[in-house]
Amino acid sequence: MTTGLKMPNNFLWGGAVAAHQVEGGWQDGGKGVSIADVMAAASREHPQREVTDTVEPGKVYPNHWGIDFYHKYSQDINLFAELGMQAFRTSIAWTRIYPNGDEKTPNAAGLAYYHDMFAKLHAQGIEPVITLSHFEMPYHLVKEYGGWRNRKLIDFFVRFATTCFEEFHDEVRYWMTFNEIDNQTSWRDPHPLLQNSGLQLNPGENAEEAMFQATHNELVASAQAVLAAHKIDPQLQVGGMLAMVPIYPLTAKPEDQMAAMRAMQYRYYFGDVQVQGKYPSWIKAYWEQKGYQVKVSASDADILRRGTVDYMGMSYYMSFATKERADGKVEYDEAKDLTDNPTLQKSDWGWQIDPVGLRWILNWMQDRWRKPIMIVENGFGAYDKVEDGKIHDNYRIDYLRAHVAELEKAVVVDGVNVIGYMMWSPIDLISASTGEMAKRYGLIYVDQDDKGQGSGERLRKDSFYWYQKVIQSDGVDL
Ligand code: BG6
């Protein structure tokens, strides 16, 4: 099918993973325990992943083994090269570099591991794109310091980031600070609060206020990391990373429009701070009305102002819709105020499928922030069946094709400055939300089940060959 539009020559086509979802080797090379290492598996029916204080016998911790990328990265990178990937996004596991998070000196074995991986990528002509914190902070920082509500984490993170920039600046040009920092607007759900910020709520603690405090500290840390990177090497490009989910008004009713606008403001203020260097005015009014005392130090405003990002990384999977609240308030509560969009279909996991929403949100970002955009996640989690060693995943091809077509319209027709597309994921991995293997995203199948059983063999799915042609044809052959 050749309905695609030709994408610019320097456009980066690639694929994305995160360290904790693929590496395994959770105790290898002096690695410390991360949040992901104490998160037990859940399921589609019961998606809440239990976090245990220690590793408990009889429980399944799928991030302990991932897909064994820690040992198999060399062969997997060969497959990525065969696929034609020009960029590979992964994260550096914080606990490989600073096992507990508060050490003064880094772990040499962890640094050596990533040097080796980046060398292998470069040898294959693949550009690494790196996230510093992707749902895998050291668990010690949760237990000893209370996670990101504690300002000490700013220094720990900046030390980790600085070490990475100093070590890898010749090997890695594109960086992102915090993965999907905006997921935490879903603060009624304990999972994102813990996964992103290491927050375990104290009795009586206000979850929303704790979220604002933790994310303020993260935004300051992110800005300080940008400043550190530019000082070490002005060539480095440091981005934010947001889960972009358009929140449409359900109807043309003005009250629904207002609800949707506030929802978008609420979910994306992180981007406003990271790009514009200051909080939007609605948020200060909101904190005042709620009586929230978010601790902001005297120097924070200056750091946020100076440490703005070079580009914005984003994931895109689905869209939401919202409508006027029953109580008439213009507030957004993600757990209560989202509603199904009757015009869209859903995946088996209930994610609403909306390719046009990708073009919509890219235009929205361009208008609002005027920064280069890198899509660092977009993909389809589905059950796959192996038949005679083949996986005919047309549903995944359909999803990706429809999204790439809208991305191309955004770039070629609308002139949005998108610099890369890293689909999620070139290879099957552990689902972040449920810990399942059965929710497969890969173009490459990994023979492994939810309990980690299987040969681990890699098989090319039909979608592998489809994406290979897309890259070869600069997006023309969809
Ligand atoms: C994003 C995360 O939220 O979505 C990834 O950055 C995650 O880590 C991806 O894997 C898909 O979500 P899930 O829960 O299906 O793995």
Answer for the pair 443, 464: CB distance below 8 angstroms, yes or no: yes
* C-alpha 35, offset from chain centre: 16
Q: Write down the pLDDT at residue 299.
A: 96
How many domains in the chain? 1
Q: Write down the pLDDT at residue 1.
A: 62
196 CB under 6 A from ligand 1? no
Q: What is the arithmetic mean of pLDDT over 79-95?
A: 98
* Domain contains 262: yes
Tell me how far the alpha carbon of residue 359 lies from the centroid of ligand 1, in angstroms.
Answer: 20
**Quick one: which atom of ligand 1 is closest to the CA of 135?**
8
Q: Chain-wide mean pLDDT for the chain?
A: 96
The best mutation among 186, 425, 431 to test binding of ligand 1, ranked by most ligand atoms within 8 Å of the C-beta, falls on 431
Answer for the pair 266, 325: CB distance below 8 angstroms, yes or no: no
The best mutation among 179, 183, 242, 424 to test binding of ligand 1, ranked by most ligand atoms within 8 Å of the C-beta, falls on 424
Helix axes 394-408, 355-369, angle to 10 degrees: 30
| Domain span including residue 168 | 12-472
DSSP code, position 10: T
Tell me how far the alpha carbon of residue 113 lies from the centroid of ligand 1, in angstroms.
Answer: 24
Residue type, 46: H
435 CB under 6 A from ligand 1? no
Read off the pLDDT of residues 297-345 as tens digits, 9 standing for 90 and up. 999 999 999 999 999 999 999 999 999 998 988 888 888 899 999 999 9
Separation between Cα atoms, residue 308 and residue 72, nearest integer Å: 37
What percent of the chain shows pLDDT beyond 90? 92
Question: Could you tell me the two tokens for 431?
Answer: 């689902």
Question: Could you tell me the two tokens for 411?
Answer: 């770039």
* Domain contains 478: no
Q: What is the arithmetic mean of pLDDT over 271-276?
A: 98
Which of 384, 422, 417 minimizes the C-alpha distance to 131? 422
Give the residue, by CA position, lying nearest to ligand 1 atom 7. 432
315 CB under 6 A from ligand 1? yes
pLDDT band (50, 70, 90) for residue 355: very high
Answer for the pair 49, 439: CB distance below 8 angstroms, yes or no: no
Which CATH number is 123's domain given?
Answer: 3.20.20.80
Separation between Cα atoms, residue 258 and residue 81, nearest integer Å: 47
Separation between Cα atoms, residue 41 and residue 22, nearest integer Å: 15
* Domain contains 477: no
186 CB under 6 A from ligand 1? no
User: Does residue 218 have a pLDDT over 90?
Assistant: yes
* Domain contains 4: no
* Domain contains 468: yes
Residue type, 94: W
Whole-angstrom CA distances from 14 to 18, 375, 396, 471 are: 14, 10, 16, 9
**Quick one: which atom of ligand 1 is closest to the CA of 439?**
15
Separation between Cα atoms, residue 281 and residue 184, nearest integer Å: 20
Q: What is the arithmetic mean of pLDDT over 81-98?
A: 98
Tell me how far the alpha carbon of residue 266 lies from the centroid of ligand 1, in angstroms.
Answer: 21
Place of tokens 């799928």: 62
pLDDT band (50, 70, 90) for residue 33: very high
* Domain contains 6: no
Residue type, 164: C
Side-chain-side CA neighbours of 420 within 13 Å: the count stands at 27
Q: Residue 14 — φ and ψ, nearest 5°?
A: -165, -160
Answer for the pair 450, 436: CB distance below 8 angstroms, yes or no: yes
Q: Write down the pLDDT at residue 417.
A: 98
* Domain contains 7: no
Does an H or E element contain 460, and which?
Answer: strand 458-460
Give the residue, by CA position, lying nearest to ligand 1 atom 4. 432
ipTM score assigned to the predicted complex: 0.99
* Domain contains 1: no
**Quick one: which atom of ligand 1 is closest to the CA of 18?**
8
- Residue 60 backbone zone (phi > 0: left; psi -120 to 50: alpha; other: beta): beta
Answer for the pair 447, 430: CB distance below 8 angstroms, yes or no: no
Read off the pLDDT of residues 153-210 as tens digits, 9 standing for 90 and up. 999 999 999 999 999 999 999 999 999 999 999 998 888 999 999 999 999 999 999 9
**What amino acid positions are annotated as catalytic residues?**
180, 377
Question: Could you tell me the two tokens for 443?
Answer: 């173009």
Separation between Cα atoms, residue 44 and residue 170, nearest integer Å: 42
The best mutation among 178, 317, 433, 437 to test binding of ligand 1, ranked by most ligand atoms within 8 Å of the C-beta, falls on 433
Give the residue, by CA position, lying nearest to ligand 1 atom 8. 432
431 CB under 6 A from ligand 1? yes
Read off the pLDDT of residues 234-252 as tens digits, 9 standing for 90 and up. 999 999 999 999 999 999 9
Answer for the pair 212, 288: CB distance below 8 angstroms, yes or no: no
> Please, which residues have CB within 8 angstroms of residue 386's CB and are 6 or more apart in sequence?
445, 447, 459
Tell me how far the alpha carbon of residue 432 lies from the centroid of ligand 1, in angstroms.
Answer: 5
Read off the pLDDT of residues 418-462 as tens digits, 9 standing for 90 and up. 999 999 999 999 999 999 999 999 999 999 999 999 999 999 999
* C-alpha 113, offset from chain centre: 22
* β 174-178/127-133 pair status: parallel
H helices present in 8-50, as ranges: 19-22
Q: Is the pTM of this model over 0.95?
A: yes
